[in-house]
């Protein structure tokens, strides 16, 4: 492939040389999350949202607890303008939520943006301009001085329009689009100039949002760029340092996390990572990564399936089944070793909770392969372990016990797992808990009529006498069982001739169930069974 056509990051932009502090830091509190699903995410949809879909998305974001929400690009389309007016006139914005509106650096577009927010009690006006050399040369036709003058003029117009709208508490945001490909000294010059022009103060801070509009480098270089800005921005206590990573190299989440270590206080992104090309950074993954480290994410993901379904319906895009935290299969194990570890981990967790005297949902979490408790995001344990041809005895036994109350002896678990694997190999299908019960009963349980025991005799003795009369010698090697719904279940390992086999039985009492288990073992020794998943 013609790799010579492409330049590495260090040849495309100056990477500031700093004495890095970010590698030694830890994230101990959540940044301010700002969802841009209604603007940046919406611009990336083949079918952009109409007002009802936008309102449904907005209401979801409010319900989850986001406190700043970018609601649209009012000058880009009539739909976006009308939606912002809808929010302004319907009283849809709660008192603790600040809407953000997005505008390019043109007077007419800025004026249309201000018209859209008339009547809102508060808002952030977000000004953007691309600043990177390629964009200056190819798209804008401006040198550095000319572009800086254009930005200053637009920012001044915003300030004048804000002065004429005293009924709305306004703050300002600036995004030097393609920050990560722009000369650091130019970005610093522009941002510090706007901090002064907008007269930022701690009680009315300006937001400087520094996008990795197109990822071009490893996340550590983006962190270096952010830390450089963090150290050199003027009136630092009057500036909220924000980041807006994209995912072109597949490292958007890492860029955001390292940027927060480097001094960023605010992160813009989308739920499940929707956005142009490979998407905006995923706020679900970012927030739940913190949650898994014991940090309150400050947004509510307690019913992640409702969140995912709403996003899918609004975006008309599916969320991948392997998407971190939210996909259908992310809490599911098919592998036998994983299943065994999870099953043992869940049992240990229940015991530990009981020993502490706390509910299972409040005990410290430490279960193999599950970074968080699925129940914390509204998932159940039923879907954690699923069975196919790759599965092992631990997962199969867990499902039989969890769904049907069957606690198989260890040796029987190993043997039954081979029965299941044979059936799933031949069918190519996943085995549900109901399939497993049907397979187990067909393979190990006697299904003939009622068992009648001799008066005063135990089940093994009664059966031995009956079988001896038929010329069948049986030695019971092991017997056991447990109560079950409607009676009892028993398991027996018997030697019939030269063959050692397992059997199981269920009945209204332990003695009858035990007799059935022995009878089932004898039947299996005399005639092997092969079971298919497709059988009714």
> Residue 429: what pLDDT?
85
Give the mean pLDDT of 122-126: 98
Confidence of residue 302 (pLDDT cuts 50, 70, 90): very high
Confidence of residue 450 (pLDDT cuts 50, 70, 90): very low
> Residue 530: what pLDDT?
38
pLDDT digits (tens, 9 = 90+) for 194-245: 999 999 999 999 999 999 999 999 999 999 999 999 999 999 999 999 999 9
Give the mean pLDDT of 459-485: 79
> Residue 528: what pLDDT?
54
> Residue 428: what pLDDT?
85
Give the mean pLDDT of 107-134: 97
Residue 492: partners with Cβ closer than 8 Å, 6 or more residues away: 476, 478, 479, 502, 503, 504, 505, 514, 517, 518, 520, 521
Residue 9: partners with Cβ closer than 8 Å, 6 or more residues away: 15, 216, 217, 218, 221
Q: How many residues does the chain have?
A: 536
195 vs 200: CA distance, rounded Å: 5
4 vs 72: CA distance, rounded Å: 40
> Residue 383: what pLDDT?
65
Confidence of residue 535 (pLDDT cuts 50, 70, 90): very low
> Residue 449: what pLDDT?
47
Give the mean pLDDT of 134-153: 95
> In which region does residue 65 sit, left (phi positive, over 0), alpha (psi from -120 to 50) or beta (all else)?
left
From 168-172, 381-385, 437-441, 524-528, the region with the lowest mean pLDDT: 381-385
Work out whether strand 499-507 and strand 487-496 pair parallel, antiparallel, or are unpaired: antiparallel
* Average pLDDT over the chain, rounded to an integer: 91
> Residue 214: what pLDDT?
96
363 vs 203: CA distance, rounded Å: 41
For residue 61, give the nearest of 277, 270, 251 by alpha carbon.
270
The structure tokens 């969890």 sit at 402
Say what the alpha-carbon torsion angle 277, 280, 283, 289 is, to the nearest 10 degrees: 70
Please answer whether residues 240 and 203 qualify as being in contact, where contact means their C-beta atoms are separated by less than 8 angstroms.
no
> Residue 531: what pLDDT?
37
166 vs 150: CA distance, rounded Å: 25
Residue 234: partners with Cβ closer than 8 Å, 6 or more residues away: 192, 195, 196
Output b/e per residue, 91-107; b: 16+ Cβ within 10 A: ebbeeebbbbbbbbbee
From 51-55, 209-213, 477-481, the region with the lowest mean pLDDT: 477-481
Higher pLDDT, 215 or 381: 215
Residue 363: partners with Cβ closer than 8 Å, 6 or more residues away: 349, 352, 353, 356
Please answer whether residues 440 and 504 qualify as being in contact, where contact means their C-beta atoms are separated by less than 8 angstroms.
yes
Higher pLDDT, 92 or 429: 92
> Is residue 385 pLDDT above 80, yes or no?
no
User: Other CB atoms closer than 10 Å to residue 152's CB: what's the count?
Assistant: 15
29 vs 46: CA distance, rounded Å: 36
Cα Rg of the chain, angstroms: 32
> Residue 166: what pLDDT?
96
Confidence of residue 389 (pLDDT cuts 50, 70, 90): low
Please answer whether residues 307 and 273 qualify as being in contact, where contact means their C-beta atoms are separated by less than 8 angstroms.
no
Give the mean pLDDT of 111-127: 98
Please answer whether residues 89 and 74 qualify as being in contact, where contact means their C-beta atoms are separated by less than 8 angstroms.
no
Residue 507: partners with Cβ closer than 8 Å, 6 or more residues away: 451, 487, 488, 513, 515, 516
370 vs 331: CA distance, rounded Å: 7
> Residue 532: what pLDDT?
40
pLDDT digits (tens, 9 = 90+) for 166-204: 999 999 999 999 999 999 999 999 999 999 999 999 999
For residue 502, give the nearest of 532, 528, 484, 469 by alpha carbon.
528
Residue 232: partners with Cβ closer than 8 Å, 6 or more residues away: 188
Work out whether strand 32-35 and strand 68-72 pair parallel, antiparallel, or are unpaired: unpaired
From 49-63, 257-271, 461-475, the region with the lowest mean pLDDT: 461-475
> Residue 204: what pLDDT?
97
469 vs 120: CA distance, rounded Å: 93
> Residue 21: what pLDDT?
97
461 vs 14: CA distance, rounded Å: 88
For residue 444, give the nearest of 383, 336, 517, 339 by alpha carbon.
517
Please answer whether residues 211 and 179 qualify as being in contact, where contact means their C-beta atoms are separated by less than 8 angstroms.
yes
Task: Identify the three-state secondary structure at position 176.
Answer: strand
257 vs 481: CA distance, rounded Å: 53
> Is residue 281 pLDDT above 70, yes or no?
yes
Q: In this structure, what DSSP letter does residue 130 have?
A: E
> Residue 394: what pLDDT?
76
Say what the alpha-carbon torsion angle 7, 11, 14, 17 is, to the nearest 10 degrees: 110
Q: Is the dihedral of CA 106, 108, 113, 119 positive or negative?
A: positive
Task: Identify the three-state secondary structure at position 470.
Answer: coil
């Amino acid at each position: 492939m013609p790799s010579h056509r492409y330049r590495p990051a260090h040849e495309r932009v100056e990477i500031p040389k700093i004495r890095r502090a970010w590698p030694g830091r830890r994230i101990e509190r959540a940044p301010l999350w700002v969802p841009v699903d209604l603007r940046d995410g919406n611009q990336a949809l083949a079918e952009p949202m109409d007002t009802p879909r936008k309102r449904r998305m907005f209401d979801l974001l409010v319900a989850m607890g986001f406190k700043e929400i970018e609601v649209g690009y009012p000058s880009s389309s009539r739909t976006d303008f009308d939606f912002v007016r809808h929010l302004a006139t319907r009283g849809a914005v709660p008192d603790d939520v600040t809407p953000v509106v997005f505008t390019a650096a043109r007077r007419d577009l800025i004026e249309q943006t201000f018209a859209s927010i008339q009547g809102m009690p508060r808002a952030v006006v977000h000004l953007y301009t691309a600043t990177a050399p390629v964009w200056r040369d190819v798209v804008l036709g401006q040198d550095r001085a000319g572009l800086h003058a254009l930005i200053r003029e637009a920012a001044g117009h915003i300030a004048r329009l804000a002065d004429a709208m005293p009924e709305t508490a306004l703050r300002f945001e600036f995004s030097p689009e393609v920050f990560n490909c722009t000369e650091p000294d130019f970005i610093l010059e522009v941002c510090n100039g706007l901090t002064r022009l907008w007269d930022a103060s701690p009680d009315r801070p300006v937001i400087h949002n520094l996008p990795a509009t197109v990822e071009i480098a490893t996340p550590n270089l983006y962190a270096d760029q952010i830390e450089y800005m963090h150290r050199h921005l003027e009136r630092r206590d009057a500036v909220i340092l924000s980041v807006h990573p994209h995912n072109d190299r597949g490292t958007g989440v890492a860029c955001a996390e390292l940027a927060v270590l480097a001094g960023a206080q605010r992160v813009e992104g989308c739920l499940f990572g929707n956005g142009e090309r490979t998407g905006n950074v995923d706020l679900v993954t970012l927030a739940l990564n913190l949650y898994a480290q014991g940090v309150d994410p400050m947004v509510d993901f307690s019913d992640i399936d409702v969140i995912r379904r709403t996003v899918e319906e609004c975006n008309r895009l599916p969320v991948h089944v392997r998407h971190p935290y939210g996909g259908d299969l992310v809490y599911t194990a098919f592998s036998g070793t994983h299943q065994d570890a999870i099953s043992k981990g869940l049992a240990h967790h229940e015991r530990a909770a009981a020993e502490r005297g706390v509910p299972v949902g409040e005990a410290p979490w430490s279960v193999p392969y599950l970074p968080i408790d699925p129940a914390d995001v509204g998932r159940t344990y039923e879907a954690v372990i699923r069975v196919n041809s790759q599965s092992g005895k631990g997962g199969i036994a867990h499902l039989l016990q969890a769904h049907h109350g069957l606690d198989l002896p260890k040796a029987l678990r190993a043997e039954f797992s081979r029965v299941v694997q044979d059936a799933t190999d031949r069918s190519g299908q996943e085995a549900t808990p109901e399939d497993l019960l049907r397979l187990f009963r067909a393979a190990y349980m006697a299904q003939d009529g009622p068992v009648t025991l001799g008066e005063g005799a135990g089940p093994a003795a009664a059966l031995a006498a009956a079988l001896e009369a038929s010329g069948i010698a049986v030695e019971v090697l092991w017997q056991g069982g447990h109560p079950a719904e409607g009676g009892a279940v028993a398991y027996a390992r018997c030697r019939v001739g030269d063959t050692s086999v397992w059997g199981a039985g269920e009945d209204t009492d332990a003695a009858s169930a035990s007799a059935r288990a022995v009878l089932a073992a004898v039947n299996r020794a005399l005639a092997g069974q092969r079971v298919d998943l497709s059988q009714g």
